[in-house]
Amino acid sequence: MPRGIIYLIFLLVISCAKNSLVYEEIPEDVLFSCIDYDRVTDPNFDSDDLYAFWDIFVADAKCSMRNNPDYDNLNSIVNMYYEYESAALTASGEVLDYGAYAASSCNDEVVRVGIAFRYWNDINIWQKLGLMYHEFGHDVLRYAHSTNPDDIMHPSSPFANTYNGFIKSKNRFFDKKFEGINYIDCSWYN
Ligand SMILES: [Zn+2]
């Protein structure tokens, strides 16, 4: 084989090896979701409007869950509000010891969710979605807490802070396929 061709083959091998290194640096693909989250990353989106998160959750449940529930129709009363540190608590240098809570898990017609305003301001948009889905998980799907911190229903989940991380955990959430899945006992409720 003429020396020139051998040199050319050598060059091709080098460039292939270089290319595969470049490929490894390409970030993972943007995962599919049946609803578009462009709205929440728009600079005009008001992330303090808790009802916008309810609308997203309702649309997501409708297209993600096998039975296509219409939670907007099922829940005639939807009540969401911020909780603030009292003057006394602030004076003592303390903060609310929870991030949020759901207060109407056993009533299928009512959603009541309280959010600690200070905590809300410390987390990014994907974590806000995770937190809201967690509370709707209690209030609408009657999920109790689960065991893996990567899941939305873990009691002290840090919540995924990226789009893909959120999509992965919310898929497990809607598919009812997460570790330690568990339901709230509503047998006391008429
Ligand atoms: Zn919880």
- Could you tell me which residues come within 8 angstroms of residue 147 by beta carbon, excluding any fewer than 6 positions away? 154, 179, 180
Q: β-strands 110-116, 100-102: how paired?
A: antiparallel
- Could you tell me which residues come within 8 angstroms of residue 62 by beta carbon, excluding any fewer than 6 positions away? 68, 69, 70, 71
Is 79 part of any domain? yes
User: Which CATH number do you get for residue 44?
Assistant: 3.40.390
Alpha carbons 59 and 125: distance in angstroms, whole number: 18
Is 166 part of any domain? yes
Alpha carbon of 131 to ligand 1 centroid (Å): 9
Is 106 part of any domain? yes
Is 169 part of any domain? yes
Alpha carbon of 78 to ligand 1 centroid (Å): 18
- Would the pTM of this model clear 0.85, i.e. be above it? no
83, containing H or E segment: strand 77-83
Which range marks the domain in which residue 144 is found? 31-175
Alpha carbons 75 and 65: distance in angstroms, whole number: 17
Is 48 part of any domain? yes
Number of domains in the chain: 1
Q: Which pLDDT score is estimated for 92?
A: 83
Is 16 part of any domain? no
Which DSSP state fits 165? H
Is 54 part of any domain? yes
Is 35 part of any domain? yes
Alpha carbon of 101 to ligand 1 centroid (Å): 6
Q: Which pLDDT score is estimated for 19?
A: 55
* Angle CA 166–54–67, to nearest 5: 80
Alpha carbon of 30 to ligand 1 centroid (Å): 28
Q: Which pLDDT score is estimated for 6?
A: 52
77 touches 103 (CB < 8 A): no
115, containing H or E segment: strand 110-116
Q: Which pLDDT score is estimated for 7?
A: 54
Alpha carbon of 153 to ligand 1 centroid (Å): 6
Alpha carbon of 19 to ligand 1 centroid (Å): 46
Alpha carbon of 128 to ligand 1 centroid (Å): 14
Q: Which pLDDT score is estimated for 97?
A: 77
Residue located via tokens 């040199």: 7
Alpha carbon of 53 to ligand 1 centroid (Å): 17
Q: Which pLDDT score is estimated for 89?
A: 81
Alpha carbons 124 and 161: distance in angstroms, whole number: 7
Alpha carbon of 96 to ligand 1 centroid (Å): 15
- Chunk the chain into consecutive blocks of 10 residues (it has 190) and report each block's average pLDDT, rounded to whole numbers: 53 52 69 94 96 97 97 94 86 82 92 94 96 96 96 95 97 97 89
Alpha carbons 72 and 90: distance in angstroms, whole number: 37
Alpha carbon of 180 to ligand 1 centroid (Å): 14
Q: Which pLDDT score is estimated for 127?
A: 97
